[in-house]
Every structure is written in C-alpha cells, then in structure tokens.
Amino acid sequence: MPLSFDEEEQRYRVPGTFYLPATSFTPEEALALIVLCHEMGDAVKLPFFGPARAAAVKLEASLPSRLREYLQSVAGTVNIRAMPHSNLAGQEPVYDRLLDAMRERTSVRIRYRSLTERDEIGTRLSPYRLLFSRRAWYVIGRSSLHRATRTFHVGRITHIEALEDEYHIPRGFSLDRYLGNAWHLIPESGPDQDVVVRFSKLVAQNVAEVVWHKTQRLVFNPDGTLDFHATVSGLGEISWWILGYGDQAEVLAPPKLRQLVAERTERAAAQYRS
C-alpha cells in the first residue's frame, strides 16, 4: 500500500534539516547528475558547489550496487575541465549572507576592495542577483555610494553586515537588460559601438568555433582570415580579449578601439625592449 504524504514526510525527515521525497532517476539522468556534480562540484574547481558534490555521493549510495558500479565505470571515463577561477576560500560566509539578504529582501553594508576607485570603499548594497560568470562569483545590486546598480566581485568583499532596511527590486530589472551588450559584465555608458576585428588564418577557425558574444557575426575572407563583428556596450573589456591574441588580431573598427589596443600593445612592447 502506498505511503501517505505524511508518512513519506516522516520517512525522509532529518532533524534540523529540510528533506525531499524519494525521486526516480533513469540511468542516463543519474549518470549526468553524478558526472556534473563530481566534476563541477569539486570545491577545488568551482567555488560554493561543494553541496552538489555531496548530493552526488548520496545519490550514488542510494543506487543498486550493479547500477552504481556501472555508472561509476562510465563516469570515470568523462572529465570536465573548468576554466581557472578566483580563489574564494573563506568567502562562503559572505556568499551565504548575500543569499539570506536576497531571500529576506534586506540590504547589507559591505566593505569592498575596488579596482576602479583604487581603494577600499563602503556602501549599502541592495543585492538583486548572484552570478557566477567565467571565473568568479559576482553580486549585482543597487549601491548607495554610486546611487546606481553596480557589479561587485564577491571575492573582494572584505566585510559584510546585515541591515534591517528592506528593499524592492525594480519591476523592470533583469540581468539581460542591465548587462545590455557588455562584452562580459561591465556595461559602459554611452551608445553601443560596432566592433570589427580581423583574425589571421592561424587562429580564424579557433575563434569561429566559439560563441563569444550574443551579437557576433563572422565573415571568412578568401585568404582564410576572419572578420569578427560584434556590437558592444563599452570597449574596455573587449580590448583585453583582443590583446590575448597578440599579433594574430587587428582591430579594423572603431578607431577608438584600434587606438586603445595600439597604445596597450606599444606599452607592452616597451617593457620588453627595456
């Protein structure tokens, strides 16, 4: 006879914790969860995903021995290499406090090592979103110091204090709308700009195989070079990406970006000449 909901509750209850009822997984679903949670949940590879790895261990333990052995043998043949990330050891309390603030819709006061202000700043923050992007965790919310929505690197928050001030997320706020056409995370003021970068034949195919930006358009030339087109909100972030390709990339437009990359390239060359 099937258990009632209350009986199911009691069966899976652990004092002081939340619980979930039993769930059936297909072998494919179990394999996907185990591989992803082990590979991406390793605290050494991706911060704050330790609980995912613990969940995979529990899932494995609950499987029949024959299925567990099969999935373990298959999972051992799959590896996922996450890109380098910021070392956020010890920042878990900051992350948890931000989650609490977003759940309760109450502001926090933070001390922050700012790269743009070149100093440690203090501000009251109303957090809207937590975002893990590429290499690090970020919190996006309204800053009282800047009187605007800003992006803060969680790893550079040196102190966080819970406040009782309640806040409301603006009705029209969305992460996509806030970021606009930023190359990564920092939209700059002013109109969007159309960028054209020509990549040499040596790296053209490598560049073309990746979706770098939602607006990108690729044009292969008869000589094997690639013209990369994109519309971006700000030139700072994309300039560093271009510089990463060294002499295999040339900015064709706009002139401001071409000049910016040229100046940084010249300063780099001067360091080596000296």
% helix, strand, coil for the chain, step of 5: 40, 25, 35
CATH 3.30.70, domain 193-273, yes or no: yes
pLDDT tens digit sequence for 192-217: 999 999 999 999 999 999 999 999 99
Average pLDDT over residues 123-134: 92
Residue 8: pLDDT above 50?
no
Q: Where are the domains of the chain?
A: 5-75, 92-175, 193-273
Rounded to whole angstroms, the Cα distance separating 36 from 190 reads: 40
- pLDDT band, residue 16 (cuts 50/70/90): low
158-178, pLDDT tens digit by residue? 999 999 999 999 999 999 999
Using CA atoms, how far residue 218 sits from 135, 197, 221, 239, 250, in Å, is 26, 10, 10, 18, 15
How far is CA 163 from its chain centroid?
Answer: 27
Report the percentage of the chain scoring pLDDT > 70: 82
Q: Record the pTM.
A: 0.72
Same fold, 92-175 and 193-273: no
- State pLDDT tens for residues 234-268: 999 999 999 999 999 999 999 999 999 999 999 99
Question: How many whole angstroms separate alpha carbon 272 and alpha carbon 251?
Answer: 23
Cα–Cα dist 213/116, whole Å:
24
Average pLDDT of the segment spanning 62-79: 77
- The tokens of 62 are what? 């609950």
More confident residue, 63 or 152: 152
Most confident range, picked from 53-57, 115-119, 138-142, 182-186: 138-142
58, 68 Cβ separation under 8 angstroms: no
Top CATH class of 92-175 equals mainly beta
Q: How far apart are CA 258 and CA 265, in angstroms?
A: 11
Q: Reply yes or no on whether the pLDDT at 21 is more than 60.
A: yes
Tell me how many degrees the CA angle 139-141-142 measures, rounded to the nearest 5: 145
The Cα angle at residue 268 between residues 201 and 184, in degrees rounded to 5: 65
Q: Considering Cα of 63, then 67, then 68, then 72, what sign does the dihedral take?
A: negative
